[in-house]
Amino acid sequence: MRKPIGGAIKAEQNNSSNNSSSSLMMMKMRKGLWSPEEDEKLMKYMLNNGQGCWSDIARNAGLQRCGKSCRLRWINYLRPDVKRGAFSPQEEQLILHLHSLLGNRWSQIATRLPGRTDNEIKNFWNSTVKKRLKKSTSDSSSPNTSHDSSSPDHRDIMGGRTSMQDSSNHVMAMYMDATQRSSLSSSSFLQAMNMNQMMERFPLMGDHDVPNMPILNASCYGSTQVGMDGNGISYHGCTYEIFGGNLGLEDEFFNIPPLENMTTNNQDTKSENHNDRTSITNNMNNVNTNHCYNNIINNNKHQIHAITDGFENCWEAGDELKVEEWDFEELMRESSSFTSLG
C-alpha cells in the first residue's frame, strides 16, 4: 500500500474542530513511504536509546508516525542486522522446509533465518515460491511432461505406483485436514498439491518390499527422507525435479516432517490461529528426540542409502513414529548445519 511520500497526512483531511491531544496526534500521523530523513531520525533514536514503547519512540524521535509504523520500519528495514538482497538457494530451501513445518507462520520461519524478516519471507513466498509451485503444478499436469507418470517408462520405474498414488491421496487428505485445522492458507494447499506430485515421483516408497511398511501414513510421512542434489530431490539414488531444480544442497538431506505434527499435538482448537504460535514452538521445544530421525541425520547424513536404513531402523524397532516425538529444535540445528546460512 505504498503511498506518495509525504502524501497522507491526515491533518489535511480534518479541520481544527477537534482539540484533543490524541486527535492532534492522529491528525498529524504520516503514512506511506518513509523518507530518508525519517529513517535517519528513527535510526538515530533507536541506536541511542534502544527499543522501548513504540508510541513513545515515535513521539520522542520527532516522527509523525504511529508506533506501529515505526516498529515495522525498524524491524523490516532499519535494523542493523537485517539482511537484504536475494535469497540464497540454501535460504530458499530452508524456507520451503520450514513452511512445510510451520505453514504461514512467517515470524516463526524468520527466526530461523538470521537477518531475514517475516515480511520479506512472506513476500518471497507469495511471489516467487507460489509462482514456482503453480508452474510446477501446471508442468506436471501437462500430459507431455517428462514426468508423465502414465508413460510406460515411468511406469517401469514406478513399481507399486498404485499404492503410491493412493498414499499420496492419503497425504493430500491428511494435509488438507491439517490445513483446515490449523487455519493454514491456500499457499499450504498449493504446497500440498506439490507434495502430492513429489510423492508420485518417488517410486521406491511404494516399491519398498518391507512388510508392514507404512507407506505414507501420517507417521511415515513424517520421516520421509529426501536427499537433495543440485537438480532436485533424490530418493534411493533417483533424482526428481521439484520447482525446476537448482535448489542446491549437494549431498545433503532434506527432511520433510509431518505437518500433522503441528496439529495432533494441539488438538485444542483454540490453540489455532494466533495462540498456537507459542504452543507449537513450546511443544516442539519440549518434544522428545525422535531417535529414528537422529539416526538418519547423525549417522547417515551423506549417504543416500541411509534413507532406507532409517526407515528400516524405525520399523524394526517397532516404532510408531508418533508425531510428538519429533524434535523441532534438533531438526533446526541440523537444518542450520546443512544450510550454512550467513
- Least separation in angstroms between residue 110's CB and DNA is 7
- Least separation in angstroms between residue 292's CB and DNA is 29
Per CB under 7 A, 144 contacts DNA: no
From residue 298 to residue 337, what is the string marking binding to DNA with x (rule CB under 7 A)? ----------------------------------------
Instruction: Give CA angle at 241 (237, 247), nearest 5°.
Output: 95
DSSP H/E element including 48: helix 36-49
Give the Cβ contact number of residue 55 at 10 Å. 15
Exactly one of 11, 25, 77, 88 binds DNA (CB under 7 A); that residue is 77
- Output Rg (C-alpha) for the chain, integer angstroms: 24
The string of DSSP letters for 77-96 reads II-TT---SPPPHHHHHHHH
DSSP 13: G
- Least separation in angstroms between residue 116's CB and DNA is 11
265-292: b or e for each residue (b if 16 or more CB lie within 10 Å)? Answer: bbeeeebbeeebeebbbebbeebeebeb
Nearer to DNA, 2 or 48 (CB): 2
Nearest one of 254, 171, 247, 251 to 206, comparing CA atoms: 171
Q: Which of residues 181-220 bind DNA (CB under 7 A)?
A: 185
DSSP 1: -
Exactly one of 54, 163, 190, 264 binds DNA (CB under 7 A); that residue is 54
CB 154 within 8 A of CB 202: no
Nearer to DNA, 2 or 318 (CB): 2
Q: Which segment (49-57, 152-160, 316-324, 332-340) binds DNA by CB under 7 A? A: 49-57
Nearer to DNA, 93 or 179 (CB): 179
Per CB under 7 A, 123 contacts DNA: yes
From residue 19 to residue 48, what is the string marking binding to DNA with x (rule CB under 7 A)? -----------xxxxx--------------
What is the size of the binding site for DNA (CB under 7 A)?
A: 45
What grid cell was written down for 160?
507399486
Nearer to DNA, 106 or 235 (CB): 106
Nearer to DNA, 53 or 173 (CB): 53
Rounded to whole angstroms, the Cα distance separating 44 from 24 reads 25
End-to-end CA distance of the chain: 31
Q: Where are the beta strands (DSSP E) in 54-164?
A: none
Per CB under 7 A, 104 contacts DNA: yes
Q: Which of residues 124-143 bind DNA (CB under 7 A)?
A: 124, 126-128, 131
DSSP 270: G
- Least separation in angstroms between residue 296's CB and DNA is 29
Exactly one of 275, 289, 298, 299 binds DNA (CB under 7 A); that residue is 275
Nearer to DNA, 65 or 170 (CB): 65
What grid cell was written down for 307?
534413507
Exactly one of 23, 28, 53, 302 binds DNA (CB under 7 A); that residue is 53
Rounded to whole angstroms, the Cα distance separating 99 from 110 reads 10
DSSP 296: I
Binding stretches for DNA (CB under 7 A): 1-4, 30-34, 52-55, 65, 67-69, 71-73, 76-77, 86, 104-108, 118-120, 122-124, 126-128, 131, 185, 270, 273-275, 277-278
